Structure 1
């Protein structure tokens, strides 16, 4: 009798830990795919497009919106992984390559 609740809890935990977090279409991308245009300080991320057309980048299990990706509007957690632009002191790397690839998932 006690096994059923444990089994159900395990199933729910599996869904809660799934990489796409229910955001619709998703695709893993890696730094090597983008070369010097890679705008993050982590080696990989998951791009997603929600059924409503919202764009997300998921890093270490946490999703961040790409639709309003300005430094001022960015989540503090995202700013920690958004790479500084080495050729333009103080500015961040351009997110357009990630945004374009995430947008393709909406089509």
Structure 2
């Protein structure tokens, strides 16, 4: 089958759109094609004593496949098991605060999980 020039251009455009995931420039795409920081910076001050991390600020990454990941200090940390099982991210345990009221326990990660879920969907 011989392709005409318009048909070939249309096919190329369709492939390009499929590869890029039709992402916009808004920085909020969750197409899963790359780990790109998106809107969703959170500060410890926003959550007070309930902020469970030793870092004051994080960026949320949405690599796709329901993985929840945050970035802080040049490192990327798995927030959920789906991200952790890939082996691509550092363990959030490294920046997870101890619970001062329960020796040996950590603070509740719910604020971080809710932040990531609200952004990544």
TM-score range, shorter chain: 0.5 to 0.7
**Is 1:38 matched up with 2:51?**
yes
Query: How many residues get paired?
Result: 83
| Structure possessing the higher radius of gyration over alpha carbons | 2
Question: Could you tell me whether the CA contact under 8 Å between 2:37 and 2:59 is conserved in 1?
Answer: no
- Where in structure 1 do 4 or more consecutive aligned residues deviate above 3 Å? 23-26, 75-78
Q: Which residue of 2 aligns with 1:90?
A: 104
Match of 2:118 among 99, 104, 107: 104
Compute the RMSD of aligned alpha carbons.
2.6
Stretches of structure 1 that go unaligned for 5 or more consecutive residues are 1-20, 70-74
Q: Which residue of 2 aligns with 1:6?
A: none
Q: With CA pairs under 8 Å and 6+ residues apart, which has the higher RCO, 1 or 2?
A: 1
TM-score, length-normalised on structure 1?
0.64
State which drifts further: 76-85 or 94-103. 76-85
Stretches of structure 2 that go unaligned for 5 or more consecutive residues are 1-33, 84-88
TM-score, length-normalised on structure 2?
0.57
The secondary structure found in structure 2 opposite 1:79 is helix
